Chain A
């Protein structure tokens, strides 16, 4: 276990390093590089720009620049927003809770619904339910999230008036928990659509894998009821690989969150990225890009650790 943890941690650090190199490369891919914002400011001459480039160290060799950028990053100095000069990390932190809340709700929905569909599909393999679930999952993976969001708004907000068309709370409302929840339903469901599809596919495959294993036959040979065989013996094993999946799915979920946040005017990190792109606020854009990758890395690491803890074969090794 200790070896596993150490190896996994080391792996994550290496990945983090590569991620930072990619981030640095993207930063310098921006037209005009880190100076791009000033190029748009009227009244700055070429000499001014050159002087600023020198002050920012942009005329030094790239490896040196990278090293300085990385040490600043690790020290928590992610630069300042061009828009309001607030530290980038503060800006992100302000938007993070909304995004995490949305993602959390979506994960909850997708794990419960997706896993249930997957298990039922595996148990009744090739049944009508299984066929419909298979086709449904493939179609769900093909529906553009934003379009699905628009349809949900059209049906449930415009037509039926059941759900608010956007925002996190009613403007000028009482800010109660129920109001909160009411606003959360639609964006979370829209974000969950793709994840439900993914979870149901993986869960079905994992369950089928387990159901055909020898120890399930052993459990049946003991005379246990089918219910016990499936939920006690099969599901426990089938869920093990799913823990790792939760980690792997974080980038997809973040990407989906951006779209859901845009459609539902949800004040999260995804919308922040889009707004910052609109203002060419590169420090914030870069910050979010790096932050999301780090979040994915951390999530992956955590998921792997949880998976290891849940599996006695690894926990005891």
Chain B
């Protein structure tokens, strides 16, 4: 039964066509390239640059770019800006990915449960989602972040806790509409258990929207990390994150604008890349697109 049911699921065959459509989306390809580049640079880059991200060099403070090997200049303590940007990239990107995984998993769980069980379960869960969405995300995030000892793990959890709702909504809607479709009814009539139907039948067929929402969540999470760190409740110095580098840069805006410009560009590049990819995926995976 398992094999025949899996084959009859419509999720399987759309793959290659979706990939072709995705490739037509030049912005999305640009996004993928930029993400790969950013990740590679953050992982490998710091070991290729002859400066340490934490090494203070009082003699070369505020060196404007490019200055004697400091391609992007130095900051108020004479640290190399480029290597700090890349180290910050490690932190910001890791938090972005990790928060995406946690919030997508949680949101999916809530969404599938609400969509599958329907009735009172659905009402209770989805009203909870609605209520969470009443709070401005940054307010909620700041308040939660103020309660914790901020580090990469706790920040990830706090960001995930304030950004799983969109995924839950998307998944719930998807599952609810799939629930009535023939192959799900067939699976249930063949005696498949609730958990089997939820995770073997419903989830694979809702995977498109989940992937799209997850991609956009990475973008959102990177942005949120930047916000809390900028506001002083995120990653703490001397460890660098794109957000807290900007916090520092604010005081030197008039004299050393490059300290503000580069981290902001990095955030914008990373976030818009994920948004481009998410948008391309939405076009590629949207079933309605097939009809046109």
| Set A144, A252, A294: member contacting B227, Cβ < 8 A | A144
Shortest CB distance B286–A (Å):
13
* B207 adjacent to chain A (CB < 8 Å): no
Knowing A150-B249, A274-B142, the reply to whether A142 touches B272 (Cβ < 8 A) is yes
Knowing A142-B223, A144-B226, the reply to whether A22 touches B131 (Cβ < 8 A) is yes
Interface contact A15-B130, CB-CB below 8 Å: yes
> Which residues of chain B from 253 to 280 have a CB within 8 Å of any chain A CB?
253-254, 257, 260-261, 263-264, 267-268, 271-272, 275-276, 279
Assembly CA distance A97 to B80 (angstroms): 44
Q: B279: which A residues are within 8 A, CB to CB? A: 138
Interface contact B131-A277, CB-CB below 8 Å: no
> Which residues of chain B from 219 to 237 have a CB within 8 Å of any chain A CB?
219, 223, 226-227, 230-231, 233
Assembly CA distance A46 to B268 (angstroms): 49
Shortest CB distance B107–A (Å):
16
Knowing A31-B147, A259-B227, A262-B231, the reply to whether A292 touches B127 (Cβ < 8 A) is no
Q: A145: which B residues are within 8 A, CB to CB? A: 227
Interface contact A154-B253, CB-CB below 8 Å: yes
Segment of B43-51, B54-62, B132-140 in the binding face: B132-140
Knowing A144-B226, A150-B264, A259-B227, the reply to whether A296 touches B143 (Cβ < 8 A) is no
> Which residues of chain B from 126 to 167 have a CB within 8 Å of any chain A CB?
127-128, 130-140, 142-144, 146-147
Interface contact B134-A297, CB-CB below 8 Å: yes
| Set A150, A252, A285: member contacting B246, Cβ < 8 A | A150
Assembly CA distance A146 to B230 (angstroms): 8
Q: A181: which B residues are within 8 A, CB to CB? A: none
**Which of A143, A153, A288, A294 has most B Cβ within 10 Å?**
A143
| Set A153, A251, A289: member contacting B133, Cβ < 8 A | A251
> Which residues of chain A from 7 to 57 have a CB within 8 Å of any chain B CB?
14-15, 18-19, 21-22, 26, 29-31
Q: B134: which A residues are within 8 A, CB to CB? A: 15, 19, 251, 293-294, 296-297, 300
Interface contact B227-A146, CB-CB below 8 Å: yes
Interface contact A289-B264, CB-CB below 8 Å: no
> Which residues of chain B from 185 to 241 have a CB within 8 Å of any chain A CB?
219, 223, 226-227, 230-231, 233
Assembly CA distance A18 to B226 (angstroms): 29
* A191 adjacent to chain B (CB < 8 Å): no
Assembly CA distance A42 to B253 (angstroms): 39
* A188 adjacent to chain B (CB < 8 Å): no
Knowing A255-B137, A274-B142, A297-B134, the reply to whether A144 touches B267 (Cβ < 8 A) is yes
> Which residue on B lies nearest to A297, using beta carbons?
B134
* B250 adjacent to chain A (CB < 8 Å): yes
Interface contact B27-A135, CB-CB below 8 Å: yes
Interface contact A139-B268, CB-CB below 8 Å: yes
Interface contact B260-A147, CB-CB below 8 Å: yes
| Set B127, B137, B231, B275: member contacting A15, Cβ < 8 A | B127
Q: B231: which A residues are within 8 A, CB to CB? A: 146, 259, 262, 274
Q: B144: which A residues are within 8 A, CB to CB? A: 26, 29
Q: B142: which A residues are within 8 A, CB to CB? A: 258, 273-274, 277
Interface contact A251-B137, CB-CB below 8 Å: yes
Shortest CB distance B40–A (Å):
20
Interface contact A150-B260, CB-CB below 8 Å: yes
> Which residues of chain A from 278 to 313 have a CB within 8 Å of any chain B CB?
280, 285, 288-289, 292-294, 296-297, 300
> Which residue on B lies nearest to A17, using beta carbons?
B131
Assembly CA distance A138 to B233 (angstroms): 27
Q: B226: which A residues are within 8 A, CB to CB? A: 144, 146-147
Q: B250: which A residues are within 8 A, CB to CB? A: 150, 263
* A254 adjacent to chain B (CB < 8 Å): yes
* A141 adjacent to chain B (CB < 8 Å): yes
Interface contact B139-A14, CB-CB below 8 Å: no
Q: B243: which A residues are within 8 A, CB to CB? A: 144
Shortest CB distance B128–A (Å):
6
Interface contact B135-A142, CB-CB below 8 Å: no
| Set A15, A144, A277, A289: member contacting B230, Cβ < 8 A | A144
Interface contact A153-B253, CB-CB below 8 Å: yes
Shortest CB distance A120–B (Å):
20
* A64 adjacent to chain B (CB < 8 Å): no
Interface contact B264-A144, CB-CB below 8 Å: yes
Shortest CB distance A277–B (Å):
5
Q: A100: which B residues are within 8 A, CB to CB? A: none
Assembly CA distance A143 to B260 (angstroms): 13
* A158 adjacent to chain B (CB < 8 Å): yes
A-B pairs, top 9 by smallest CB distance, nearest first, are A147-B264, A142-B272, A142-B271, A255-B136, A255-B138, A18-B131, A293-B134, A254-B136, A251-B136
Query: Could you name 27 residue pairs across A and B whose Cβ atoms are closer than 8 Å?
Result: A15-B130, A15-B131, A15-B134, A18-B127, A19-B134, A19-B135, A26-B144, A142-B268, A144-B264, A144-B268, A146-B231, A147-B246, A150-B246, A150-B250, A151-B264, A154-B254, A158-B253, A251-B133, A251-B137, A254-B136, A255-B139, A256-B138, A259-B227, A259-B231, A263-B250, A289-B139, A296-B134
* A interface with B by C-beta (< 8 Å): 14-15, 18-19, 21-22, 26, 29-31, 135, 138-139, 141-148, 150-151, 153-154, 158, 251-252, 254-256, 258-259, 262-263, 273-274, 277, 280, 285, 288-289, 292-294, 296-297, 300
Given contacts A14-B127, A158-B254, A251-B134, 11 further A-B contacts (CB under 8 A): A15-B130, A18-B130, A142-B219, A142-B268, A143-B264, A151-B260, A258-B138, A258-B139, A263-B250, A274-B142, A296-B136
